[in-house]
Structure 1
Amino acid sequence: MELSLKNKNAVVCGSTRGIGLAIAKELALAGANCILFARNEGLLKEIVHRLPGNSGQEHDYRVADFSEPAAVKAAIESVVSKINIHILINNTGGPPPGPIAEASADTFENAFRQHIIISQLLAQCVLPGMKKEGYGRIINIISTSVKIPLNNLGVSNTIRAAVAAWAKTLSNETGQYNITVNNILPGSTKTDRLDNLIEETVKKEHTGREMVEKEMTDKIPLKRFGLPEEIANVAAFLASPAASYVNGASIPVDGGRTGSI
């Protein structure tokens, strides 16, 4: 099974923390040249120098705020003007929690911009190079809410489903060029976002953190939260030649929590 990503160039979004950082590390371990996209230049500089480089890779970064499509477009254009990209990891923080009935129009517009518009801009910029190389992997990190909507995440449920539909449509159009488009659906994973959601619940329900965490993990067959590295392992597989016939799929990585087949 061919899992090596040597001589492959990867753009990894949201790569200074959590799942994005874990994916960048795993792709680098597999031999890829990683270009990190995030908005904190200090962290980017620190992390890019700590990425594995045993295969002689050259890692780089671009400062990009996903709330500003024009800036993201300029950043990705500066990359593809020099090299062809083989792997694109679309990953950005989720919309704020809350009931959908209370969500403002601005919240929906911001989420649509950060998740749909940005993904579209990035894909449009990397696709020509992928076609030229005859190899492409677009991997979107979204949510199990694509399968079953999650309570108190109204805007997120809506936008994540839109990303999944966008990805499936794109996969139908690009498959003929050996470019696959797939989604990873993380469950409850130990990240800053999970920590924030737990704290929100603690405040809302006036209860203890341990009680909230137990209630959450009790719903997971594996009885624990996931680790960012466990999401990264699946991303690295999907990015590899071994996943050449996996296309248009939405794959839960959630310890079995999602109650659908």
Structure 2
Amino acid sequence: MNLDLTDKTALVCGSTQGIGRATAIELALLGATVVLVARNEETLKKTLTELNTGKGQVHRYIVADFSQPGAVAKAIAEYLAVFPEMHILINNTGGPAGGPLIDAKADEFVQTFHNHLLNNQTLVQAVVPAMKQAGYGRIVNIISTSVKQPIVGLGVSNTIRGAVAQWAKTLSLEIARFGITVNNVLPGYTQTGRLEAVLAMRSKTSGKSKAEVAIQMESEIPTGRFVTPEEVAAAVAFLCTPAAASINGINVPVDGGKTGSL
């Protein structure tokens, strides 16, 4: 099985923490040159030192704030003008604050749409020409199991992530003939800052402690525990390899079996 990403370059968004960071580390271990993208330069520099360079890679980073799509487009364009090679794109952006859908304000939808779908579109338009030229491209969007089963209390996130999944499926049909695949990885309850926020929200609404909420949530997972960022990263990395060339346009839950739908 060919899992070698030597001579491949990967742009990894939200790559200084959680799933994004774990993905960057995994891709570097497989031989890829990694370009980190996040808004905090100090954490970018720190993460850069954690990436494997066993295949002679020179990893880099881009400072960009995903709440400002125009600034993201400018930063990526400036990078590609100097380093035009790109084979892998990992779209990964933190989700919006939770809460009932009925209480959500219009600007929450607009901002989340900008942060997720429009930024994804901007990045794809920037890197696909290089992927076409190389005859190799992997686009993996880290979304959520809410694509298959909406999560109570995350109304805005459920709505926009569903739109991202439809966008990705459509894109997968358009560009596969160029050797470019598009897939979505759907993390379940994963040990990240996002999970901590969900635990705090549910603790507040239920009156239970965070520890009690965590135990209840883990009991709903067939494997009996939360997912680790490294487990999600492993699925993402596999989809980026030559071995996954015919896997295209799918949603892959990494959730310990919790999602009720097929």
Per the normalisation by structure 2, the TM-score is 0.98
Instruction: Report the counterpart of residue 37 of structure 2 in structure 1.
Output: 37
Tell me how far 1:70 sits from its aligned partner.
1.2
Q: Deviations over 1:21-69 (max 9, x none)?
A: 0000000000000000000111001111221111100100010000111
Structure 2 CA distance for aligned equivalents of residues 162 and 52 of structure 1: 35
Alignment of 1:16-165 (within 5 A): 16-81=16-81, 82-165=83-166
Quote the residue 1:224 is aligned against.
225
The residue number in structure 1 matching 2:248 is: 247
1:249 maps to amino acid: I
Name the CA distance, whole Å, in 2 between partners of 1:116 and 1:28: 26
Partner of 2:199: 198
Equivalent position amino acid for 2:239 in 1:
L
Mapped to 1, the partners of 2:234 and 2:228 lie a distance apart of: 10
Mapped partners of 1:174, 1:84: distance in 2: 18
5 Å-filtered alignment, 1:160-171, equals 160-171=161-172
CA shift at 1:232, angstroms?
Answer: 0.5
Q: Percent of aligned positions with the same letter in both sequences?
A: 53
CA distance in 1, matches of 2:239, 2:87: 12
Q: Distance in 2 between matches of 1:123 and 1:109?
A: 20
Deviation at 1:10, TM superposition (A): 0.3
Q: State how far apart, in whole Å, the 2-side matches of 1:163 and 1:209 are.
A: 30
Q: Displacement of 1:83 after TM fit?
A: 2.3
TM-superposed deviation, 1:123: 0.1
1:113 and 1:213 map into 2 onto residues whose CA distance is: 31
Q: Deviations over 1:220-258 (max 9, x none)?
A: 000000000000000110000000000000010000000
Distance in 2, matches of 1:153 and 1:159, equals 10
Asked if structure 2 preserves the Cα contact closer than 8 Å seen for 1:80 and 1:129, the reply is no
Task: Give SS of 2:35's match.
Answer: strand
Q: Distance in 2 between matches of 1:183 and 1:78?
A: 27
Bigger CA drift: 80-89 or 61-70?
80-89
Q: CA deviation at 1:74?
A: 1.1
2-structure distance, mates of 1:214, 1:46: 33
- 3-state secondary structure, aligned to 1:259: coil
* Secondary structure, counterpart of 2:36 in structure 1: strand
User: Matches of 1:244 and 1:155 in 2, distance apart?
Assistant: 33
Q: Which runs of 4+ in 1 moved over 3 A?
A: none
**1:115 & 1:80 partners in 2: Cα distance?**
21
Structure 1 unmatched ranges of 5 or more = none
SS in structure 2 at match of 1:148: coil
Residue identity in the other structure for 1:92: T
- Give the residue type in structure 2 aligned to 1:68: Q
Distance in 2, matches of 1:134 and 1:210, equals 49
Corresponding residue number in structure 2 for 1:234: 235
Q: In structure 2, give the amino acid aligned to 1:44.
A: L
Tell me how far 1:95 sits from its aligned partner.
1.1
Shift of 1:79: 2.4
User: Aligned equivalents of 1:170 and 1:248: distance in 2?
Assistant: 8
TM-score (norm 1): 0.99
The residue matched to 2:61 in structure 1 has which SS? strand
Determine the C-alpha separation between the residues in 2 that align with 1:229 and 1:84. Answer: 26
